[in-house]
Each structure stands twice: as structure tokens, then as C-alpha cells.
Amino acid sequence: MKNNNLKEQLNQHIEKIAAPLCEMADTIFDHPEMGFQEYKSSALLCNWLKKNGFNVIHGVCGLDTAFHAVYERGKDGPSIGLLCEYDALPIGHACGHHLQGPVILAVADALKNIIIDKPFKLIVYGTPAEEGLQGKARMLANGCFNDIDIALMMHAGDHTTVDVKSLAGARLDVDFKGVSAHPSLAPELTRDALDGLLLTFQGIEFMRGHVKKDVSLVYGIKDCVGMPNNKDQTSTEGYVVFRTYHSCDVEDLEKRITDIFKGAALMTGTKVGIAKSHEMVGKLPSHVLNKLILDNAQALSAPQILRPHRERTGATDFAFVSRHVPSAVCRVAFVPEGTPSHSQAFLEAGKSQRAHEAIRLGAKIIAGVAVDLIYSSETFQAVLKEYKNIKAAEGNAGRGSTAI
């Protein structure tokens, strides 16, 4: 009962501060910045946090557009990480990341002002470059996220829900080196690098029929003879990106693709070089946090609720955080069901009434979850315990076992 009153007070506070935060989201939307270039967006969020009494460091862990903002009441309460993204896609904010910062600011400010009788710590992490550049992985490698017990984030979507799995995999860049000689006077001395790459693609197509259904294989050409600005006629560059919801299969898939590269080089008498990047891990779910999110969403009559959860999301660098501390993302519906992210429709809804409602609602849901964690040490301990078990089970079964 007490928590319900508290949540009501938090909701009222969020309503009170929502209008300028919705405007802030519109401003971020109108000035989209791609990964690691989010100078204006991160400055807007940091300035607001500073003005509202948070201890802010803009630029952390070697990333100019990452930030860290702290508020602590008392000692030894749970340390709640509130994460937000703000990077855009080339077409603009077609993934709704402009909404996340304002949501997290509203949550942090409401908790700071309303909860006065319990110890807790809030750490707002501004996490740049989610889209393809894995900002959170870099932050983690550089020492971020060691001061939080759990991590929460909001993401706009076509359902109000949570998810359990995300894609793992990597990108393999490949270059084939051929041998040049006069094509009609000494064709026997030539070796064509493009042949190696074309046979690679052929091999990937044949492989497609012999992998689990959830495996995605995407490839392309980066440079070859005939392309504008081709720099070296004896070399051809391409890439293969592979993704799977079964993290335990990543190693095997990488090996099979590497064998295809090598086989193609052997067949064509070319030399091959391989470089791995964009390694993505699968996320570890927190079912306890997921349930708290959905319970709070339901209590607020959130639209388009999908329960118990959405089984899968795409590849996300949030997965790196989920392997460090118990984590969950609260998805909030702001577009009709079935509207995909990264689409024109998603982009067009960016400043809509529903987008602004999603800010209010996302903030209320996450603030509600924070209350559940701050006021019930049993709930908080249940999150930690489940996480420990999931990690132990994974350790026994291999990374990202399907059992979890």
C-alpha cells in the first residue's frame, strides 16, 4: 500500500517535469547525431542533470560523448544503473533513442525528490554509439558499470514488453590477394582475387541450408576491380556478418566461415586475410526484473502489452552490460503493432503525441521498478540470486545456453 502511494507521488512528479523533457527529446530528434558524435545530445542531458543536483562527469572511460551522473541518498542502499542511448541512424532517429535520455532523467529526478526514507544510489550512464559501434562494450572494457548492482534502460517499440534473448555473432572482413599478369598473353600466370570472394559467397549460400534456422548470414563487397576508387587491382575486399540467438554456436559458425574463406583461396590460388570485428554477445535475461517491469506497466495500463515477454530482440550492445550485472530493458509502445524499428514509419513517429506519452510512461514504469527494488530487499536479493544462478548455469552449459 505504501509503495502504491509512493508510486503515485512519483508519477505526479514525472507529469510535472514531463513537458520540458518531451521538448528535449524533440530537440535531440531534430539534431540527430551518429555514434560517438553525440556532442549536442549528451551535453543537453548532462546540463539538465547538473542543474538538477546530480554529480556529472561528461566524457568517461575515454569516450567524449559518454557520461556518468550520480545521486546518493544514505549509505548501503541498492545502486541502480539508469542507462540511456542517444545515437541516431543515417536517416535520423529511426530507433527512438532520442526518447531514452529524457525518460531516464525523469526517473532519476523523481526518485531523488520523492524517496526520502530509504538509502539508494542512482547512477545515470549516458551510453553512446549503440548502432553498430558497441559503445557499451567499450565502456565496459574501460571500467564503466562497476558501480551499479543492476541496470535498467527504456527503448521505444511496437509493444510494451521486455525481451529475453539477443543476437550474438561477429563480422569477418576478408581480403583476397591475386596475381596480375597480361590476361591474354599470360593468363596462366594470373590469379583473380574476386574469384576468391565470389566462391566465398557461394560457400555461404551452401552453408545456409546447414545451420540452425535462427542463423543470419549477410555478406557484401567492399572493394574490387570495377568499383569506383578501386585501389588495388590484385586485391578484393568483402565481409560476412553472422548472427545467432545461440551464443554457444558462435565459435563453430566462425570456424566454418573461416574454412570457407580458406577453401575459396585454395581453389583460386589466391591469398586470404581475415579480420574479426563487431563481436556481439547474446544477452543474459533477468526474469525477475522483466516481471517487475511488466507488473508496473500493467498497473499503469500501458498500451500494447506483450506478456510474458518478447522472446527475441536483435543484436544490442546492452547484452554486454547484461553479462556484467542483472539488467532489463523496458520496451514501451509508441507505434502501431508490427511497425519495425529503423523504418521510415518509426522515424515519422519520433515527435508524435504517442512518443511523448511513451516518455511519461517509460519513466513511470522504471521509477516503479526502482521503488520495488529500494523498498523490498527480498525483491532486490531475488534479482541478484537469479542472476548468480543464470551465470552459473551458463558456465556449466556454455555461453548463452538455450536453457536460460
Region binding Zn ion by CB under 5 A among candidate stretches 27-35, 89-97, 212-220, 276-284: 89-97
**CB-count burial class (<10 Å; 0-12, 13-18, 19+) for 168:** buried
Min dist. Cβ of residue 163 to Zn ion (A):
12
Phi/psi for 20 (5° steps) reads -65, -30
Region binding Zn ion by CB under 5 A among candidate stretches 94-102, 223-231, 297-305, 331-339: 94-102
Q: Which residue is nearest to Zn ion (CB)?
A: 95
Residue 58 burial (CB count, 10 A): 19
Min dist. Cβ of residue 68 to Zn ion (A):
21
> Residue 340 is which amino acid?
P
Cell numbers placing 365? 514504469
Min dist. Cβ of residue 316 to Zn ion (A):
7
Min dist. Cβ of residue 362 to Zn ion (A):
13
Beta strand pairing call for 235-244 and 168-177: antiparallel
> Is 167 a binder of Zn ion (CB under 5 A)?
no
Residue numbers 309-368 binding Zn ion by CB under 5 A: none
Min dist. Cβ of residue 317 to Zn ion (A):
10
Nearer to Zn ion, 355 or 383 (CB): 355
Nearer to Zn ion, 95 or 272 (CB): 95
Region binding Zn ion by CB under 5 A among candidate stretches 90-98, 178-186, 188-196, 345-353: 90-98
Q: Cα 238 to chain center, whole Å?
A: 25
Min dist. Cβ of residue 32 to Zn ion (A):
13
Nearer to Zn ion, 131 or 195 (CB): 131
Q: Look-up: residue for cell 581453389? A: 267
Q: Look-up: residue for cell 527494488? A: 373
Nearer to Zn ion, 161 or 270 (CB): 161
Cell numbers placing 128? 553512446
DSSP string covering 180-212: ---TTTSGGG-B-HHHHHHHHHHHHHHHHTTS-
Fill in the per-residue mask, 104 to 123: x = in contact with Zn ion (CB under 5 A), - = not in contact: --------------------
Cβ atoms of residues 109 and 347 within 8 Å: no
Nearer to Zn ion, 264 or 355 (CB): 355
Nearer to Zn ion, 95 or 103 (CB): 95
Cβ atoms of residues 37 and 131 within 8 Å: no
Nearer to Zn ion, 94 or 265 (CB): 94
> Residue 229 is which amino acid?
N
Min dist. Cβ of residue 399 to Zn ion (A):
23
Residue numbers 27-56 binding Zn ion by CB under 5 A: none
Min dist. Cβ of residue 93 to Zn ion (A):
10
**CB-count burial class (<10 Å; 0-12, 13-18, 19+) for 129:** buried
Nearer to Zn ion, 194 or 293 (CB): 293
Cβ atoms of residues 364 and 11 within 8 Å: yes
Min dist. Cβ of residue 162 to Zn ion (A):
15
Region binding Zn ion by CB under 5 A among candidate stretches 88-96, 117-125, 135-143, 145-153: 88-96
Cβ atoms of residues 45 and 67 within 8 Å: yes
Min dist. Cβ of residue 85 to Zn ion (A):
7
Nearer to Zn ion, 54 or 86 (CB): 86
Nearer to Zn ion, 95 or 207 (CB): 95
Alpha-carbon distances, residue 84 vs 179, 278, 318, 337, 355 (angstroms) = 50, 21, 10, 24, 16
Number of residues that bind Zn ion (CB under 5 A): 1
> 177 CB contacts (<8 Å, ≥6 apart)?
193, 234, 235, 270, 271, 272, 273
Min dist. Cβ of residue 66 to Zn ion (A):
17
Beta strand pairing call for 163-165 and 310-312: parallel
Nearer to Zn ion, 95 or 154 (CB): 95
E strands present in 136-233: 150-157, 163-165, 168-177, 216-223
Q: Contact with Zn ion (CB under 5 A): which of 6, 45, 69, 95?
A: 95
Cβ atoms of residues 217 and 198 within 8 Å: no
> 250 CB contacts (<8 Å, ≥6 apart)?
168, 169, 170, 244, 399
Region binding Zn ion by CB under 5 A among candidate stretches 95-103, 173-181, 242-250, 259-267: 95-103
Binding site for Zn ion (CB under 5 A): 95
